[in-house]
């Protein structure tokens, strides 16, 4: 595959890297301790054009292709706190793409543009206490009452949930219609009856706020329906592809960074009279891991190429072949990055088990990737189904 990056992409890379290293990373320890990060991060990312680089100019974006989002995902990991990276990626690549694709001009001006500019914080509301990977099992309802929808139910595991100004919300508008009864609403969180019922404590990604949301007879205008009623499940499946793909490139970049940092540590750290990186057992182990990392990167880039061609060049729906490859990316990257991070922790010995060292945080944070956005088991099911097994 030819090099997908132009000079403009590389200039953008330098900008994102500088933002991550100079403005985010110095605060990583404090934000991890506080279990949150300040809202100015969204605003500054919006001002720098980081959130909207791959969105059209007429909605406040930079007019770039999907490779700009890949660059962003690869460089934000230098913030050294996956929680911040996840919060920003939810804003730019998970809660907002479907607004750009389905929204009316009024919806884009009210929700999408301020989100890309960092003025309004977005969350994606899909999972529920009784429905995670089984999206069709959601119970949150939206019932038509005159010119409004009345929303009742709850959502959980919602990133940016404690501070979101709006939620791209999956609901059942017809509980008896199965997949055909699901719709997507744009839900402002200043609506009466909405509340954050609980902030959730997680194993990792501590800097990101994750919440359980509650909806009690919340009344919102019907004009906040995104796309057509009853097509929400189909829209969400299309939206998931960007989420899974950008999550893969981000997780892989973080793991590759861990490899580089571990090798540098191993050249300085001595045991039994020589650097531990000089030991053949570790040379061979890291050779294996770099090889697997490169294989995963090749798979991701090949898939991004197809995704970009379909969505940004030809502006068509994502093909089943690309959906299959995205599932393969998430599955393979999940396995590879788990092996990389676990090996890097082992390489650091007792120091790796201390909270004060970066690898402990990376080890905790990485574990989410095989769960969020569809578990590895769901990815295997999707791959086998598309292949007709």
Active site residue ranges: 243
Angle between helices 320-347 and 376-386 in degrees, nearest 10? 150
Query: Please, which residues bridge with residue 124 across strands?
Result: 168
DSSP-derived letter for residue 318 is P
| Cα(8)–Cα(199) distance, integer angstroms | 40
Phi and psi angles of residue 151, each rounded to the nearest 5 degrees, phi first: -105, 130
Nearest-CA neighbor of 135 among 170, 161, 166? 170
DSSP annotation string for 220-252:
EEGGGEESSTT-HHHHHHHHHHHHHHHHHHHHH
Q: Which helix (H) or strand (E) holds 173?
A: none
CB 212 within 8 A of CB 158: yes
Please give the distance of CA 107 from its chain centroid, rounded to a whole number: 22
Torsion over CA of 149, 236, 64 and 22, rounded to 10 degrees? 90
Helix axes 280-308, 66-75, angle to 10 degrees: 150
Please compute Rg for the chain using Cα positions. Answer: 21
The interaxial angle of helices 82-89 and 40-47, nearest 10 deg, is 60
Cβ atoms of 174 and 230 closer than 8 Å = yes
Q: Cα–Cα–Cα angle for 346, 349, 353, nearest 5°?
A: 85
């Amino acid at each position: 595959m030819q090099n997908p990056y132009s000079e403009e992409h590389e200039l953008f890379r330098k900008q994102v890297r500088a933002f991550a290293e100079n403005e985010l990373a110095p605060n990583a320890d404090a934000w991890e301790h506080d279990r949150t990060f300040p809202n100015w991060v969204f605003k500054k990312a919006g001002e720098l054009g980081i959130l909207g680089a791959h969105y059209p100019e007429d909605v406040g974006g930079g007019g770039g292709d999907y490779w700009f989002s890949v660059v962003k995902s690869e460089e934000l990991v230098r913030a050294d706190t996956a929680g911040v990276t996840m919060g920003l990626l939810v804003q730019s690549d998970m809660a907002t793409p479907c607004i750009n694709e389905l929204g009316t001009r009024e919806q884009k001006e009210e929700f999408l543009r301020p989100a890309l500019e960092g003025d309004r914080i977005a969350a994606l509301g899909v999972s529920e206490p009784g429905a995670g990977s089984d999206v069709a099992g959601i119970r949150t309802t939206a019932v038509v009452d005159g010119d409004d929808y009345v929303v009742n139910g709850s959502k959980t595991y919602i990133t940016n949930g404690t501070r979101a100004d709006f939620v791209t919300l999956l609901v059942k508008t017809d509980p008896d219609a199965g997949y055909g009864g699901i719709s997507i609403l744009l839900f402002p969180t200043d609506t009466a009856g909405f509340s954050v019922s609980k902030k959730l404590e997680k194993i990792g990604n501590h800097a990101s706020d994750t919440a359980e949301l509650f909806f009690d007879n919340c009344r919102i205008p019907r004009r906040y329906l995104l796309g057509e009623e009853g097509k929400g499940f189909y829209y969400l499946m299309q939206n998931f592809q960007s989420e899974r793909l950008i999550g893969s490139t981000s997780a892989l970049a973080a793991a590759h960074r861990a490899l580089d940092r571990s090798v540098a540590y191993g050249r300085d750290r001595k045991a039994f009279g020589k650097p531990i990186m000089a030991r053949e057992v570790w040379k061979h182990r890291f050779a294996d891991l770099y090889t697997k990392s490169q294989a995963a990167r090749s798979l991701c880039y090949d898939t991004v190429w197809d995704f970009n061609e379909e969505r940004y060049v030809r502006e068509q729906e994502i093909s089943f072949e690309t959906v299959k490859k995205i599932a393969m990316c998430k599955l393979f990257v999940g396995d590879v990055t788990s092996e990389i991070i676990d090996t890097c922790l082992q390489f650091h010995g007792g120091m790796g088990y201390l909270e004060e060292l970066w690898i402990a945080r990376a080890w905790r944070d990485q574990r989410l990737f095989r769960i969020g956005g569809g578990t590895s088991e769901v990815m295997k099911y999707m791959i086998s189904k598309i292949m007709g097994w």
